[in-house]
């Protein structure tokens, strides 16, 4: 019923036309069938090629518009030389404020700021989240709103052994960044 509503032709006429096409071009004449298959393959190839060109153009537009260094998204980024930080590193490497030594089992505060030069929080460029690990164990995460947050978060931890704090943050334009801090036990 819906076909007849959409097309001016009655369903029976459409059915007859399709049958004629099938007999003429596909079933009854092997040479024409081969032609049909060849044309179908070429058409499908053309569609795929066109789709790839569209995707490639979109990729180029994206890169041009945001001017993103894609290498930053391929790795976890860390400060290369602590004594010679670049501006990019100063804005993105998380700064971990925590005691060097803590008493076994007693709570202590860890405050994380992104970064040494506090990273901007704008609509198109902002810090999306920070994650805190104690060694390999997740120990906290905060997701930020660029409208309401500064890129800073605090956590309360406790440990009965020396640990390495690992902090990661994600910038929407500059990828994943990590800093670490050793925590020892007080005597
Ligand atoms: Fe950034």
Token pair recorded at residue 8: 């001016």
Question: Please, are residues 70 and 61 in contact by the beta-carbon 8 Å criterion?
Answer: no
N residues, the chain:
187
Kindly give the distance from the C-alpha atom of residue 127 to the centroid of ligand 1, in angstroms, as a whole number: 7
DSSP state of 27: I
Token pair recorded at residue 24: 């003429």
Kindly give the distance from the C-alpha atom of residue 65 to the centroid of ligand 1, in angstroms, as a whole number: 15
Each residue's pLDDT, cut to its tens digit, for the chain (187 residues) gives 444 444 455 556 556 655 655 554 444 455 566 665 666 666 666 655 555 554 444 444 444 445 667 788 889 999 999 999 999 999 999 999 999 999 999 999 999 999 999 999 999 999 999 999 999 999 999 999 999 999 999 999 999 999 999 999 999 999 999 999 999 999 8
Task: Kindly report whether the global pTM for this prediction surpasses the value 0.85.
Answer: no
- CA 162 to chain CA mean position, Å: 34
Closest Cα partner for 145 from 114, 162, 122?
Answer: 122
- Match 């640990």 to its residue by tokens: 163
Kindly give the distance from the C-alpha atom of residue 91 to the centroid of ligand 1, in angstroms, as a whole number: 7
Kindly give the distance from the C-alpha atom of residue 84 to the centroid of ligand 1, in angstroms, as a whole number: 19
DSSP state of 146: T
């Amino acid at each position: 019923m819906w076909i007849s509503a959409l097309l001016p032709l009655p369903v029976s006429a459409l059915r007859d036309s399709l049958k004629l096409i099938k007999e003429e071009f596909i079933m009854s004449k092997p040479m024409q069938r081969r032609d049909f298959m060849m044309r179908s393959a070429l058409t499908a190839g053309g569609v795929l090629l066109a789709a790839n060109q569209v995707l490639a153009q979109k990729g180029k537009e994206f890169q041009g518009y945001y001017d993103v260094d894609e290498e930053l998204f391929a790795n976890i980024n860390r400060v290369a030389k602590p004594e010679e930080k670049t501006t990019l590193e100063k804005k993105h490497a998380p700064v971990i404020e925590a005691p060097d030594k803590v008493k076994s089992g007693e709570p202590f505060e860890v405050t994380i700021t992104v970064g040494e030069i506090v990273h901007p929080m704008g609509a198109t460029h902002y810090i999306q989240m920070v994650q805190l690990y104690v060694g390999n164990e997740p120990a906290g995460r905060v997701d930020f709103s660029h409208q309401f947050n500064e890129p800073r978060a605090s956590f309360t931890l406790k440990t009965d052994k020396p640990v390495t704090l690992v902090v990661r943050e994600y910038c929407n334009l500059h990828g994943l960044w990590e800093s670490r801090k050793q925590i020892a036990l007080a005597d």
